[in-house]
Amino acid sequence: MTVVRIENLTKKYANRRGVDRLSFEVEAGQVLGLLGPNGSGKTTAMKAMTGLLKADSGSIELLGMDPAEELPAILERTGCMIETPGLYPYLTAEQNLALTGRFYRGFDAKTVGPLLERVGLLPYRNEKVRRFSVGMKQRLALAAALLPEPELLVLDEPTNGMDIEGTAMFRELLLAERERGCAAVLSSHLAHEMEQLCTHVAVLKEGVMVDSAPVAQVLERWGSIERYYLDVTHSDGREIV
């Protein structure tokens, strides 16, 4: 099943940054990593996917639906982490998830505890979020993204601020979501992270996708995603050896 279909997506800001004719597809159980430097268009693409901004042109289809017409139905089945986590600082971790869960039909408050345990925050369930570190807030935002048992995850720099244990936890969690058929689109500027998390990778530079490939093929040919990235973005077209 094709979960994400993006065709010729274009969104330009006044400073001419954004994305230009971006196209890609993601099937159920696949994880596409958008790799590129700051300002390459990764977050812009994700905001367009989740209805946070309107594209200038192109088409977006998520879970067989058009976000312009059926965004609420899409978000019922999608978990998102876009830029700064949208958390309530004066509520506890448990209260944050319980409040967010009310936006999903069929939400069961009994799932909050197990979710907090999955992201390593169960001991802090009654602590107010304003006391959390950046990494702990990322963990809580990830738990919130998992509330609807999503069929699609859209994750913008999901391991930002996480320590080694947090990053390992996220990797195991994402692999478990893949195994149950969840698709994901995530962004990062860390090539080694992509190798462990993604089935496919797309390289963005100045808003344009310069190349995309299955991670297995990339590792077979280049040995690492870092070397692949440097090769496909090299200005004179010479392969890095």
- Domain extents for the chain? 1-77+151-241, 85-149
Indicate whether 235 pLDDT > 80.
no
Beta bridge partners of 204: 209
Provide the percentage of residues in the chain whose pLDDT is more than 90: 78
Of 36, 8, 3, 1, the closest CA to residue 154 belongs to: 3
Of 80, 39, 84, the closest CA to residue 204 belongs to: 39
| The CATH homologous superfamily of the domain defined by 1-77+151-241 | P-loop containing nucleotide triphosphate hydrolases (3.40.50.300)
Indicate whether 85 pLDDT > 90.
no
For residues 30-48, give the mean pLDDT. 93
Q: Are the beta carbons of 26 and 2 closer than 8 angstroms?
A: yes
**pLDDT tens profile 91-130:** 999 999 999 998 888 888 899 999 999 999 999 999 999 9
Q: Are the beta carbons of 144 and 121 closer than 8 angstroms?
A: no
Provide the percentage of residues in the chain whose pLDDT is more than 70: 97
pLDDT bin (cut points 50, 70, 90) of residue 161 is: confident
Residue 186: what pLDDT?
95
Residue 192: what pLDDT?
87
pLDDT bin (cut points 50, 70, 90) of residue 86 is: confident
**pLDDT tens profile 216-227:** 999 999 999 999
Q: Distance (Å, rounded) from C-alpha 81 to C-alpha 52?
A: 12
CA distances from 166 to 136, 158, 171, 190 (A): 9, 10, 9, 16
Residue 106: what pLDDT?
81
| DSSP symbol at 225 | H
Q: Distance (Å, rounded) from C-alpha 98 to C-alpha 103?
A: 10
Q: Distance (Å, rounded) from C-alpha 213 to C-alpha 228?
A: 10
Is the pTM of the predicted complex or chain greater than 0.85? yes
pLDDT bin (cut points 50, 70, 90) of residue 45 is: very high
Helices 164-179 and 134-145: angle between axes, nearest 10 degrees: 10
Residue 229: what pLDDT?
94
Mean pLDDT of the chain: 92
Residue 238: what pLDDT?
46
CA distances from 23 to 3, 42, 151 (A): 14, 13, 20
**pLDDT tens profile 184-225:** 999 987 888 899 899 999 999 999 999 999 999 999 999 999
Residue 230: what pLDDT?
93
Of 180, 162, 170, 186, the closest CA to residue 119 belongs to: 170
Q: What would the two tokens of residue 1 be?
A: 């099943």
Indicate whether 241 pLDDT > 50.
no
Cα dihedral angle (43, 73, 59, 144), rounded to 10 degrees? 10
Indicate whether 240 pLDDT > 50.
no
